[in-house]
Structure 1
Amino acid sequence: MKRIKNIITGLSLLAIIASCSKSQEKEPLERIGEDLVFDNIDKNADYAKQFLNGTYSQLPDGYNRVIGNFLDVGTDDAVSSEDGSPVEGYRTGLVSGQNVPDNQWARNYAGIRRANMFLSKIDIVPTTPELKIQWKAEARFLRAYFYFELVKRWGGVPLIGDKIFGLNDNVNLKRNTADECYDYVLSEIEAVKDLLLPAVVADQNIGRANKGAALALKSRILLYRASPLSNPGGDLQRWQAAADAAKDLMQLGNYSLGTDFIALFNATKNTEIIFMKEQSQNQTVETNNGPIGYTIGNGTTSPTQNLVDAFPMKNGKMPTETGSGYDAANPYAGRDPRFAATIMFNTTKWLNRPVETFNGGLDRPGGSRVQTKTGYYLRKFMGKFESSGVYSNQSHHVMLFRYAEILLNYAEAVNEVNGPVAEVMNAITAIRKRAGITAGTDARYGIAAGITKDQMRSLIRNERRVEMAFEEQRFWDIRRWKIAEQVLNAPLKGVNIVKNADGTFNYTILDIAPAVFDASKNYLFPIPYSEIQTNPNMTQNPGYTY
Structure 2
Amino acid sequence: MKNHISKILLIMIAFIALICGCKKSEQFPVDKVTSYYVFNPLDSAGTSAQGYLYQIYAIVKNGHNRVSGDYLDAASDDAVSSKSGTIPVTLISTNGVNSLSFPANENFWEESNATGIPSNSGTPSSYWAGIRAANEFITKIGVVPVKGQSPTGVPTRYVWQSEARFLRAYFYFELVKRYGGVPLLGDKVFTLNDNVSLPRSSFADCIKYIVSECNAIKDSLLTYPLVTPDADNYRPTKGAAMALKARALLYAASPLFNGGNIDPANPLTGYTDFQADRWAQAATAALDVINLGTYKLDVDYKDIFLTQNNSERIWIRPNSISTDVEGTNGPVGFAVGGTGNTSPTQELVNSFPMQNGLPITDPASGYNPSDPYATFTTPARDPRLTANIFYNGSPWLNTTVQTYEGGQSKPNANLQQTHTGYYMRKFMGLSEKSATLVTHSTDWVVLRYAEILLSFAEARNEVEGSPQADVYKQLTDIRARAGIDPGASGNYGLKPNMTKEEMRAVIQNEWRIEFAFEEHRFFDIRRWKIAEGVMNQPRTGVSIVKIGPTLTFNPITVLSTAFTKKQYLYPIPYNEVAKNPNMKQNPGW
Match of 1:94 in 2: 96
The question of 1:342 aligning with 2:393 is answered no
Aligned to 2:500: 453
Partner of 2:491: 444
Query: Structure 1 residue 543 and structure 2 residue 588: aligned?
Result: yes
Higher mean displacement: 461-470 or 31-40 = 31-40
Q: For 2:131, what is the secondary structure of its paired residue?
A: helix
Distance 1:283 1:80 in 2: 20
Aligned residue for 1:48? 49
- Asked if the contact 1:207–1:275 (Cα under 8 Å) also holds between the matched residues in 2, the reply is yes
Q: CA contact under 8 A between 2:169 and 2:210: conserved in structure 1?
A: yes
- The residue number in structure 2 matching 1:197 is 222
What does 1:336-375 correspond to in 2, within 5 Å? 336-375=382-421
1:117 alignment partner in structure 2: 136
Q: Is the CA contact (8 Å cut-off) linking 2:82 and 2:342 kept in structure 1?
A: yes
* Contact map agreement 2:306 2:429 (CA 8 A) in 1: yes
- Report the counterpart of residue 264 of structure 2 in structure 1: none
Q: Secondary structure at the match of 1:512?
A: strand
What is the identity, as a one-letter code, of the residue corresponding to 1:231? Answer: N
Instruction: Give the alignment of 1:1-150 within 5 angstroms.
Output: 17-20=15-18, 23=23, 24-27=25-28, 32-83=33-84, 84-101=86-103, 102-106=106-110, 107-128=126-147, 130-150=155-175
- 1:263–1:383: 8 Å Cα contact kept in structure 2? no
Decide whether the 8 Å contact of 1:14 with 1:29 is kept in 2.
no
CA–CA distance in 1 between the matches of 2:31 and 2:408? 51
Distance 1:43 1:543 in 2: 53
Residues 72-96 of structure 1: CA distance to partner in whole angstroms, max 9, x if unpaired? 0110000000123111222211121
The 1-side partners of 2:137 and 2:225 are apart by 25
1:27-426 equivalences under 5 Å are 27=28, 32-83=33-84, 84-101=86-103, 102-106=106-110, 107-128=126-147, 130-202=155-227, 203=229, 204-232=231-259, 234-295=274-335, 296-333=337-374, 334-418=380-464, 419-426=466-473
> Comparing both chains, which one has the higher relative contact order based on Cα–Cα distances under 8 Å and sequence gaps of 6 or more?
1
**Across the two proteins, how many residue pairs are aligned to each other?**
530
TM-superposed CA distance for 1:199, in Å, is 2.8
Is 1:432 aligned to residue 479 of structure 2? yes
Letter of the 1:504 partner, please give it. T
Task: Give, as a single letter, the amino acid of the residue that structure 2 aligns with 1:307.
Answer: L
Once the two structures are overlaid, the 10-residue window that deviates more, 525-534 or 142-151, is 525-534
**Deviation at residue 187 of structure 1 after TM alignment:** 1.0
Note if contact 2:95-2:564 (Cα within 8 Å) is conserved in structure 1: yes
Q: Distance in 2 between matches of 1:471 and 1:139?
A: 24
1:264 deviation in Å? 1.4
**Aligned-pair Cα RMSD in Å:** 1.5
Give the Cα–Cα distance (whole angstroms) in 1 for the partners of residues 412 and 577 of structure 2. 45
- The residue number in structure 1 matching 2:118 is none
In the alignment, the residues of structure 2 paired with residue 18 and residue 195 of structure 1 have an alpha-carbon distance, to the nearest angstrom, of 28
SS at match of 1:100: coil
For residue 543 of structure 1, give the secondary structure of its aligned residue in structure 2. Answer: coil
* Aligned ranges 1:468-507 → 2 under 5 Å: 468-501=515-548, 503-507=549-553
Query: Where does structure 1 lack aligned partners over 5 or more consecutive residues?
Result: 1-12
Given that residues 223 and 239 in structure 2 are in contact (C-alpha distance below 8 angstroms), is that contact kept between their aligned partners in structure 1? Answer: yes
Q: Deviations over 1:441-487 (max 9, x none)?
A: 11110011221111000000000100000000001100000000000
Deviation, 1:14, is: 8.4
Q: Quick check: 1:18–1:29 contact (8 Å CA) kept in 2? A: no
Asked whether the 8 Å contact 1:258–1:264 carries over to 2, the reply is yes
Aligned to 2:265: none
1:543 is aligned with what amino acid?
G
Partners in 2 of 1:90 and 1:499 — Cα distance? 35
Say which SS state the counterpart of residue 166 (structure 1) adopts. Answer: coil
Cα offset for 1:18?
2.4
Counterpart AA for 1:326: Y
Moved over 6 A (4+): none
Checking the alignment, whether the CA contact within 8 Å between 1:116 and 1:163 is kept in structure 2 is yes
Counterpart of 2:325 in structure 1: which amino acid? V
Residue 4 of structure 1 is matched in structure 2 by none
Structure 1 counterpart of 2:138, one-letter code: L
Which one-letter code corresponds to 2:282 in the other structure? Answer: A
Relative to structure 1, the CA distance from residue 248 to residue 16 in structure 2 (aligned partners, 3 Å threshold; closer, same or farther) is farther
Match of 2:155, SS?
A: helix
Q: Aligned residue for 2:7?
A: none
State how far apart, in whole Å, the 1-side matches of 2:101 and 2:360 are. 39
State the distance in 1 between where 2:176 and 2:27 align: 43
30 and 61 in structure 1: CA distance in 2 versus 1, 3 angstrom threshold: farther
Bigger Cα displacement from structure 2, 72-81 vs 275-284:
275-284
Name 1:527's counterpart in structure 2.
572
Q: For structure 1, which segment, 463-472 or 47-56, has the greater mean C-alpha deviation from structure 2 after superposition?
A: 47-56
Q: Which segment drifts farther, 460-469 or 393-402?
A: 393-402
TM-score by length of 1: 0.95
- Inter-partner Cα distance in structure 2 for 1:451 and 1:275: 34
Deviation at 1:234, TM superposition (A): 4.7
> 1:15 Cα shift?
5.8
Describe the SS at the equivalent of 1:225: helix
Q: SS where residue 220 of structure 2 aligns? A: coil
* Contact 1:198–1:211 (CA under 8 A) maintained in structure 2: yes
- Consecutive unaligned residues of structure 2, counting only runs of 5 or more, are 1-10, 111-125, 148-153, 260-272, 375-379
Cα 1:90–1:323 change in 2 (3 A) is same
- Offset at residue 283 of structure 1 (A): 1.7
Cα deviation, 1:160-180, whole Å, max 9, x if unaligned, reads: 111111112111111111111
Distance 2:16 2:286 in 1: 41
Q: Which residue of 2 aligns with 1:9?
A: none
Worse overlay, 84-93 or 113-122: 84-93
Mapped contact 1:58–1:111 kept (Cα < 8 A): yes
User: Aligned partners of 2:203, 2:37: CA distance in 1, in Å?
Assistant: 37
User: What secondary structure sits across from 2:501 in the alignment?
Assistant: helix
Larger displacement relative to structure 2 (70-79 or 388-397)? 388-397
Superposed CA deviations along residues 274-302 of structure 1, whole A, max 9, x for unmatched, are 11011121221110000111121010000
